Amino acid sequence: GKYGADTIDYVFTAEPVLTTIMNKKDAETYGKIQIVSNIKEDWKALTGQDALSQAGIFVKKDALEAKKDEIKDFVEQLDKRLDNIVNHPEIVKAELDMFGTTNEQASRFGFNSNVIYEIQKDNQNKIGMVTKDQKIDVNEFLKSLGQETFSADYFVDL
Tally of residues, the chain: 158
Contact 20, 117 (CB under 8 A): no
Residue 75 has pLDDT above 90, yes or no: yes
Q: What is the mean pLDDT of residues 95-119?
A: 95
- Give burial (CB, 10 Å; 0-12/13-18/19+) of 99: middle
Q: Would you state the pLDDT for residue 112?
A: 95
Does any domain span residue 149? no
Which pLDDT score is estimated for 78? 94
The winner for highest mean pLDDT among 13-17, 47-51, 120-124, 143-147 is 120-124
Number of domains composing the chain: 1
Residue 153 lies in a domain: no
* 130 confidence band (pLDDT: 50, 70, 90): confident
Q: Are 39 and 52 in contact (CB under 8 A)?
A: yes
The CA angle 57-91-127, to the nearest 5 degrees, is: 50
Q: Is residue 47 part of a domain?
A: no
The average confidence (pLDDT) of the chain is 89
Q: Which domain holds residue 82?
A: 2-36+54-135
What local confidence, expressed as pLDDT, does residue 132 receive? 84
Q: Give the integer Cα–Cα distance in Å for 5 and 104.
A: 29
Maximum mean pLDDT: which of 9-18, 31-40, 43-52, 114-123: 114-123
3-state secondary structure of 109: helix
Average pLDDT over residues 13-17: 86
DSSP assigned state of 4? T
